[in-house]
Structure 1
Amino acid sequence: MSREEQAVSGMGLSYRLTVEDFKEALRARARASAAARRQRVIMLVCGSVALASGIMALATGGSLPIPMMVGIAVFGVLMVAMPYLQARQFHKPTANHGEYRATIADTGFTIGHQQAATTLARQAAPRYVETPHLFVLLSTDKNASCLTVLPKRGTSDLDTLRAELDRHTARV
């Protein structure tokens, strides 16, 4: 296939999105986004301070107020459960769309399913993160608000897909 034919036809993928895809994609976005890294640090510092003050209260012979115990327990549960809960929320709108088809061409990305199709210019997602199971396309804003998930299982030719992404997008 000539370079012109490949630019017109593009590199294609076919896949169904899962909760695990979104969990991995959100984790990758959090590593690539400065705002998400700051948020994670703030959450860990707040949790550590609450835990340390609870431990200090118990160590000095005082009692731990019930609201503080509940707060620490809720914080711990949320820190563990939040990635899964967020992934479920992202997956819900996509669950009934069936199989997705993605085409990566020189002009941009086209993502479609049984109900609609969307075309993104290269400038909308100029960078990507590769994870063990996904390619995650990201925007350049500080929150990486544009998030496009391309599961590796959607193609049998990962090297061509990786090369196509590397030609037009920056690896994070």
Structure 2
Amino acid sequence: MELVYSAEFAEVNEAVRVRLRATRWWRLLRWTARGACVLAVLVAGFALLSGDPGEAVLLAFLGLVAVTAAELVPWATARSLFRLIGSQGEARAVVDEDGGRWTSRDTDTAIRWALLTRYVETPRLFVLFTDRTSGTGLAYLPKRGLADPADADRLRAILDRNTVRV
């Protein structure tokens, strides 16, 4: 099964977000940042009641910075990946019973199913990623890269035979 496509930021961003949602550390980071924000706002409220508006504003601002920074991680990661992937021009991905092979202007990467053990299907993508013990690797296959929309069923069948749908 072959796919031919050029990188689009929206797809890279979606793939990164799908991958992050599948990790425990990402959920922990987001909840920690939100908890820090709530705590900072509560302490800011106490500071405001004690008559120190400058400290209250600073604490509320720091809480918002924590949440904003955590929420920008997926975008910044996707932006970095897109700059790398997008600079390669057209990509070709060949997926078969052995794994996947991605080829572009300057790269040729083969990844066997033993590394990409799981996948998620979205309306636009198949996002393949490593298991929890192998880090946070990912690969994505945009459905628009298929020669025929019916090929999505064939690709899904290959993925179902060789990986686990999450």
Shared fold by TM > 0.5? Answer: yes
Is 2:161 the partner of 1:170? no
Report the CA distance between 1:121 and its aligned residue: 0.9
CA–CA distance in structure 1, aligned partners of residues 158 and 18 of structure 2: 20
2:85 corresponds in structure 1 to 94
* Number of positions where the alignment pairs a residue of Structure 1 with one of Structure 2: 162
Structure 1 residue runs of 5 or longer lacking an equivalent are 1-10
Question: What does the per-residue CA deviation read over 1:61-108, in whole Å, with 9 as the maximum and x for residues that have no partner?
Answer: 442426434423433443454332221111111121011111111111
CA 96–74 in structure 1, closer or farther in 2 if over 3 Å, else same: same
Report the CA distance between 1:136 and its aligned residue: 0.9
Is residue 33–residue 142 contact of structure 1 (8 Å, CA) maintained in 2?
no
CA 60–152 in structure 1, closer or farther in 2 if over 3 Å, else same: farther
SS at match of 2:4: strand
Point out 4+ residue stretches in structure 1 off by more than 4 angstroms.
none
User: AA paired with 2:165?
Assistant: R
Report the CA distance between 1:147 and its aligned residue: 0.7
CA 41–75 in structure 1, closer or farther in 2 if over 3 Å, else same: closer
Paired residues for 1:51-130 under 5 Å: 51-59=41-49, 61-65=51-55, 67-130=58-121
User: AA paired with 1:123?
Assistant: A
CA 22–59 in structure 1, closer or farther in 2 if over 3 Å, else same: farther
CA 92–45 in structure 1, closer or farther in 2 if over 3 Å, else same: same
CA 142–71 in structure 1, closer or farther in 2 if over 3 Å, else same: farther
Instruction: Give the one of 129, 133, 153 matched to 1:138.
Output: 129
SS at match of 1:15: strand
Is residue 34–residue 143 contact of structure 1 (8 Å, CA) maintained in 2?
no
